[in-house]
Amino acid sequence: MASTMRALSTQSRGRIRLSRRLQHLVSQRYLSTTSSRPTAPFPVFRDVPSLRTLRRQMFRDGKQVGFVPTMGALHDGHLSLVREALRENTDVFVSIYVNPTQFGVNEDLDKYPKTWEADMQKLLELKKEFREASEEGAVGEICGIFAPTTKVMYPIMPPSSEIGGEGSFVTITPIGKWLEGASRPVFFRGVATVCTKLFNIVQPDRVYFGQKDVQQSVLIRRMVKDFHIPTEVRVIATSREPDGLAMSSRNVYLGERRRKDVAVLSRALLRAQEAYNQGELSANAIRRAALEVFERSLEKRDGAYWGCQKIEIDYVALTRPDDMTTIEDEHSVNLSEGAILSAAIKVWPVTHPLSEEEKNQISVRLIDNVILEAKAVQ
């Protein structure tokens, strides 16, 4: 009995030392990693046990934890999510992990931008900004970056991007089958799978997503509800460039000339939103308001729109806000529930390249949406 008590005492002291060590790392903003990542101004967790040890201490201390999952290449849209998480929580984790299972076999996984040093600098600047604003009610701290390897995230077998590939996956249907799901069949399976894993690892009180990926947000909310995951899903308004283009990590691929043409996407959606706000409820008329902006702004031929490049519309869809089911053209928006107007376009490389950068352009798929807010019915 005495030896058992001594063993338990030794284990307890070990846990206390480990807990204090982790708290020290957090307070000193020291790099905690098992890889060769460059030095970062925050603790960087590369595996699950070290993060969970810290998370258990946070539970004991009554911390409120926010979580912002990203694939890196951070822009102001991501930072707006982190900023909101800092306002609403005492501690915030940010993940940076390019998840292979949400990319199809022929998609741009290898070309996805990786900007670790720039990402860390942006988060450090946000931390300083938030400390300076502390007298205005800022409360949170970025307590760590979760940057796992793929082996950590998919420990049993290599992840598959095949539609019928083997592995442990989470599928949310029917939401995951239409719109983005129809064009990218494995996308939402990959998103739901990696988010389930991330939520299980971080165990956040709140998670933060951007409205730009609105179908993803609806799907995540459904997943959290269906699986009784104890986290609140917060959806933050889309951050936009000065020309109206929704911020996206893929915008860096566009180049100057294509940027001018693709701004038509946000103009079209905002024009349709304006029509709704002025009293238009016909689904067909709202969609037509958006399509007419494309027709006025670009030349239409061969089923596509042309500027300095070809732009193909994948969809312009009006859907119900709770489950993304389509509101058919012959129907009207239910004023008491509102709607989502979303669109996706494929932007081809410029037809006549003028520089080496334009010669090396790749096709870019862009998505965007606007919310048609519900209104009180008289």
What positions carry a catalytic annotation?
A: 78
Burial class (CB in 10 A: 0-12, 13-18, 19+), 246: buried
Q: In sequence order, what are the beta bridge partners of 368?
A: 343
Radius of gyration in angstroms for the set of CA atoms belonging to the chain, rounded to a whole number: 23
Asked if 53 and 45 count as a contact pair (C-beta separation under 8 A), the reply is no
Residue 282's contacts (CB-CB under 8 Å, 6 or more residues apart) are 332
Asked if 221 and 231 count as a contact pair (C-beta separation under 8 A), the reply is no
Given CA atoms 179, 185, 190, 196 in this order, what sign does their dihedral have? positive
Of residues 119, 117, 142, 149, the one with CA closest to residue 35: 149
Across 4-28, b (16+ Cβ under 10 Å) vs e yields: eeeeeeeeeeeeeeeeeebeebbee
Task: Classify the phi-psi angles of 279: left when phi > 0, otherwise alpha if psi is within -120 to 50, otherwise beta.
Answer: left
How many CA atoms are closer than 13 Å to the CA of 367, on its beta-carbon side?
Answer: 18
Of residues 235, 187, 220, 202, the one with CA closest to residue 80: 235
Across 188-198, b (16+ Cβ under 10 Å) vs e yields: bbbbbbbbbbb
Three-class DSSP category at 264: helix
Total residues found in the chain within this entry: 378
Of residues 224, 232, 208, the one with CA closest to residue 175: 224
Q: What's the CA gap between 235 and 210, in Å, rounded?
A: 5
